[in-house]
Amino acid sequence: MTTYTARPVPAEVLQELRTADDAGRRPVPVTDEEGGAPLRCCLRHSVPGERIALVSYAPLRRWAAGTGVDPGPYDEQGPVFIHAGECPGPAGEALPFTGSHRVLRRYSADGRILGGRLVEHPDAFAPALTEAFADPEVALAHVRAVEYGCFLYEVRRG
């Protein structure tokens, strides 16, 4: 059985996003009084009292720039929560944030969408990834929240 690992926003990208996000805005750190925000830097929910920031992030654009492809019209950016300061990174489960409805969006090596799948139950999440990566054209998958469409994390082979 293949194991998949969630990829958080990379540490070097987090440093950039804390200065200016992918929309060119300066982040506004806040103290999260309630907790529960899905943090994309460490792939866990925030706890009350943590300093976080909501920033605009373009995951496919950044992946495409690193691989030398043009994401074309699939380039998009959206809001993600990150720690306002340093973060130790993920320490928890390999595939977090699977408790609600999620969408797996598959992309090819040239940055084009190959399809998507709604995953309605946590037990269906790993099989949906196996199905997605059974297609040799799939280079990566984005996991997104259904309710807001927000990017949660990236999954790749291996």
Residue 97 in domain: no
Number of domains in the chain: 2
> CA of 69: how far to CAs of 30, 74, 78, 109, 128, in Å?
35, 12, 20, 8, 26
**pTM, rounded to two decimals:** 0.91
Residue 91 in domain: no
Q: At residue 1, does pLDDT exceed 70?
A: no
Q: pLDDT (tens digit, 9 = 90+) per residue, 47-87?
A: 999 999 999 999 999 999 999 999 999 899 999 999 999 99
C-alpha torsion sign, points 127, 131, 134, 136: negative
Q: What's the longest Cα–Cα distance across the chain? A: 44
Structural domain that includes position 52:
6-83
Q: Which phi and psi (to 5°) does residue 64 adopt?
A: -60, -40
Q: Of 83, 112, 137, which residue is a domain's last?
A: 83
